């Protein structure tokens, strides 16, 4: 009888204060570690989402240009005074096809159909952070040139009474009805068939917040092949050489 009471007393004793403190400390450490991983995962997810959303917008604009047999333009803006960069999509319509220099006069109309800002702290730029533990991404992907930004004057659009609604250095992608993606001067009529040279290049995307190492791993790039309209997203990853990243897309890797 006494033996049973003794066992019952041991079972109802519960945990000591030291045991509770140790368990609470372990829970705190595990929570802190998991919190770091969660934040890192969310940042990587945001970088993927930003790049994939832009890639989807490029594909959608191209598909719409083909379906409607009209010319569309995507104007990308670097806006250092704003919280993020952005872009504008414009639809063009004219009353003539295959326009040539000195040909029959025609009328072109333009309408802004979309304005978008990248998520906060995201920019159209390549990450250039360097240092210990920072895998700096290569300057090119597949040896393609970076999409060039410049201080452009949109006199042609202004002449049509169109306000793009954004300012800053810009780069232009023009989507033709045949599915090609080209570069056109900001002062030219993009519906013209003059100098339709497909654009093959890279649009870099980076985040300006976080540690240099995190910014480097969050670097993204989109390769655009103007003749076929193919758009591919690339991520920066640590390479075999310290301080040198590699661009990765699925099972493909490039280190240039």
Domain containing residue 248: 13-254
Longest dimension (CA), the chain: 114
Judge whether residue 165 has pLDDT over 50: yes
Residue 176 falls within a domain, yes or no? Answer: yes
Residue 1 falls within a domain, yes or no? Answer: no
Closest residue by Cα to residue 190 from 132, 108, 113, 122: 108
Residue 7 falls within a domain, yes or no? Answer: no
The pLDDT, as a whole number, for residue 210 is 87
Tokens of 153: 């004057």
Rounded mean pLDDT of the chain? 84
Residue 5 falls within a domain, yes or no? Answer: no
Tokens of 53: 């959303």
**Mean pLDDT across the stretch 55-84?**
95
Residue 4 falls within a domain, yes or no? Answer: no
pLDDT tens for residues 71-81? 999 999 999 99
**What's the CA gap between 193 and 178, in Å, rounded?**
11
Residue 120 falls within a domain, yes or no? Answer: yes
Q: Which residues contact 84 (CB under 8 A, 6 or more apart)?
A: 117, 118, 119, 120, 121, 122, 123
**What's the CA gap between 256 and 241, in Å, rounded?**
12
Number of domains the chain is built from: 1
Closest residue by Cα to residue 59 from 140, 142, 144, 179: 179
Residue 6 falls within a domain, yes or no? Answer: no
Q: What is the pTM of this model?
A: 0.80
């Amino acid at each position: 009888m006494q033996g049973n009471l003794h066992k019952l007393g041991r079972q109802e004793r519960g945990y000591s204060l030291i045991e509770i403190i140790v368990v609470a400390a372990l829970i705190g450490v595990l929570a802190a570690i998991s919190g770091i991983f969660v934040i890192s995962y969310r940042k990587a997810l945001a970088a993927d989402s930003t790049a994939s959303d832009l890639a989807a917008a490029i594909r959608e604009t191209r598909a719409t240009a083909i379906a409607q047999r009209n010319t569309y333009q995507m104007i990308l803006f670097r806006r250092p005074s704003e919280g993020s960069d952005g872009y504008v999509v414009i639809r063009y319509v004219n009353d003539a096809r295959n326009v040539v220099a000195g040909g029959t006069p025609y009328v072109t109309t333009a309408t802004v159909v979309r304005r978008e800002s990248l998520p906060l702290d995201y920019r159209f730029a390549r990450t250039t952070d360097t240092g210990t533990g920072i895998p700096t991404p290569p300057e090119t992907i597949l040896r393609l040139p970076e999409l060039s930004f410049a201080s452009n004057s949109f006199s042609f659009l202004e002449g049509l009474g169109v306000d793009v609604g954004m300012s800053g250095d810009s780069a232009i992608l023009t989507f033709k009805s045949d599915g090609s993606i080209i570069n056109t001067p900001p002062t030219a009529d993009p519906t013209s068939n003059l100098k339709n040279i497909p654009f093959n290049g890279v649009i870099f995307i980076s985040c300006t917040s976080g540690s240099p190492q995190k910014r480097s791993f969050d670097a993204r790039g989109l390769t655009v092949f103007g003749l076929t309209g193919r758009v591919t997203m690339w991520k920066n990853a640590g390479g075999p050489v310290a301080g040198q990243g590699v661009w990765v897309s699925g099972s493909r890797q490039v280190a240039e």
